Amino acid sequence: MVLLAREFGWTPQDIRELYPSELAVILEELKRQKEVYEYNEFRNKWAFLAAAFTNAVLNIVTLFSKRKPKQVVPDDFIDKKWHHKIEKIMKEAQPPQEGKWVSYIEEVKAKGLKGPW
């Protein structure tokens, strides 16, 4: 409750006036946002540092060997299940793009405009 009051600037009375279903939806959304934030924090800071350090060590090792090792990317340090879970969350949060273009295409056809093709 304190988190909601601090996050949204609500008073305790405002929170008490919420319906249980509204509170459940707000909490689910906060959990989703926290998960995405933690993923971005981990990927952009810690996984990036691990990849940079690993690549530096591999480049030093390359000086003494004939083979060039494969470079490491930050996603190599992230659990695949967690990565897929975050991708799924992000896809659900974005509206489908097809509906956006359909309205534009219909508008252009109604105006009688044609493209270069």
pLDDT tens digits for range 9-65: 778 787 788 788 888 888 888 888 889 999 999 999 999 999 999 999 999 988 888
**92 pLDDT exceeds 60?**
yes
Q: Distance between CA atoms of 75 and 32, rounded to whole angstroms?
A: 20
Backbone angles phi, psi at 73, to 5 degrees: -115, 160
Which structure tokens are listed for 43? 């990927």
Which structure tokens are listed for 78? 């992230």
Q: pTM for this one? A: 0.61
Q: Distance between CA atoms of 39 and 45, rounded to whole angstroms?
A: 10
